[in-house]
Structure 1
Amino acid sequence: MSRRRSYDQYCSAARALDVVGDRWTLLIVRELLAGPRRYTDLHADLPGVSTDVLASRLRDMERDGLATRRRLPPPGAAYVYELTARGSGLLPVLQALGAWGQGELGERQPTDAVRAHWFALPLLRALEGEGDGAVEVVLEEGEFHLLVGARDAPVYGEGPAPGEPDARLTLDAGTAEALARGQLTLPDAVRAGRVGVSGEGPLAKALREA
């Protein structure tokens, strides 16, 4: 493996950027916060990344202790990548970066790629303080679930929640985008009827009563 480039500065921020500052690395972490992913799935959900760059970043992440690769048992027999505890520790970094970047989103452009689960981290931020539990989210673009309060990956996943969710949220793309931009809070969206809440778990009740 090639030697990792360094800023050669005795500063924790510089050292952190030595590890995660390369293009695509933090977005790979975003995808792996959903749990183990195959290389082909990562490539499909990172539009614009070349196969060579993705492979290189994954090797770097393995070397730096952010991710591991393992082979699934039969009948899967495929390799998957998953975050280590150190890699999972980047969740608050991504959340802070996402909050800082809310004002950069603007209106969605026709050329902007989108995946339903890219709204998972903004919705996790919106749910802070509302309680812990599994939340199923239904969007026009697809369905995913959040594991609110999870301390390690996975913190979200594609498709319905495993088992009965504590709450189910139904919303349109415009509302999801407004939440991601920080223009709308989740309680306000619920009160305005822009987010439907179903379920009898404590989290669902807290959202309906907020």
Structure 2
Amino acid sequence: MPRRRSYDQYCAAARALDAVGDRWTLLIVRELLAGPRRYTDLHADLPGVSTDMLAGRLKDMEGAELVTRRRLPPPASAYVYELTRRGRELLPVLRALAEWGAPALEEPRPTDAVRAHWFAIPLLSSLEGAAAGVVHVTLDEGDFHVRVGGDGQPPEYGDGAPSDTADVRLRTDSATCRALAAGEATLGQAVRDGRVRVEGDGHLAGELPARLALLPVN
């Protein structure tokens, strides 16, 4: 196991920070919550991280049993990193951090990178409790999807379009997503105002507009 610094405090919060408190670690978790990723894909979607830093963090995370590395079958034959069960349990932590940090988001700075799937986390709360299905979200910057489990199962998100057919599609833009994340509007209000378009003819497409009118994003 790689050598890591520790706070050496008999405290659950300190133990958690021993594992995920280093710079970049939780952002790597954010990327891997969207699905298994190759090293090159992780590096591309984490602007600013050096190759040495990323490799070191991934090695530490493997040692802490947060991620595993496996080889894809032919013809891909590439290695991917994916979260373990314990790593996936960090989703509520990311959701709480996103909610806490949303008021500071403001307008993008000239140096800010933007990826579509970074807007997935603020949308999850609005979809909890909805009927099971797949929601495909399209922004100018790209696509992501959310899988709603139904029966009280928490929704999960993935990068890009879903591999199967989506039950409903939401079309919007990053400015609207920023307003939603900051609590300046609900998703239902954005649908009514035309800032979010709902497309599809399945049960989930019929349910979402009425449901979203009642639920805030955060």
Q: Same fold (TM over 0.5)?
A: yes
Unpaired runs of 5+ in structure 2?
Answer: 212-218
User: Which stretches of structure 1, 4 residues or more, deviate above 4 A after TM superposition?
Assistant: none
Distance 1:162 1:2, change over 3 A: closer
Q: Distance in 1 between matches of 2:50 and 2:12?
A: 30
Instruction: Name the residue aligned to 1:52.
Output: 52
Deviation at 1:149, TM superposition (A): 3.5
CA contact 2:2–2:63 (8 Å) conserved in 1 = no
Instruction: Name the residue aligned to 2:186.
Output: 185
Q: How does 1:22-101 map to 2 (within 5 A)?
A: 22-101=22-101
Percent of paired sites with the same residue: 67
Question: Which amino acid counterpart does residue 202 of structure 1 have in structure 2?
Answer: H
CA contact 1:65–1:87 (8 Å) conserved in 2 = yes
Tell me the number of residue pairs that the alignment of Structure 1 and Structure 2 aligns. Answer: 209
CA contact 2:2–2:59 (8 Å) conserved in 1 = no
Q: How does 1:96-111 map to 2 (within 5 A)?
A: 96-111=96-111
| TM-score normalised over the length of structure 2 | 0.90
Deviation at 1:193, TM superposition (A): 1.4
Of 99-108 and 155-164, the range deviating more from structure 2: 155-164
Deviation at 1:55, TM superposition (A): 0.3
Q: Distance in 1 between matches of 2:112 and 2:126?
A: 23
| TM-score normalised over the length of structure 1 | 0.93
Of 79-88 and 120-129, the range deviating more from structure 2: 120-129
Query: Over the residues paired in the alignment, what is the CA RMSD in angstroms?
Result: 1.8
Q: How does 1:135-146 map to 2 (within 5 A)?
A: 135-146=135-146
Q: Distance in 2 between matches of 1:133 and 1:182?
A: 25
Unpaired runs of 5+ in structure 1?
Answer: none
Deviation at 1:126, TM superposition (A): 3.3
Indicate yes or no: 2:200 matched with 1:199. Answer: yes
CA contact 1:190–1:207 (8 Å) conserved in 2 = no
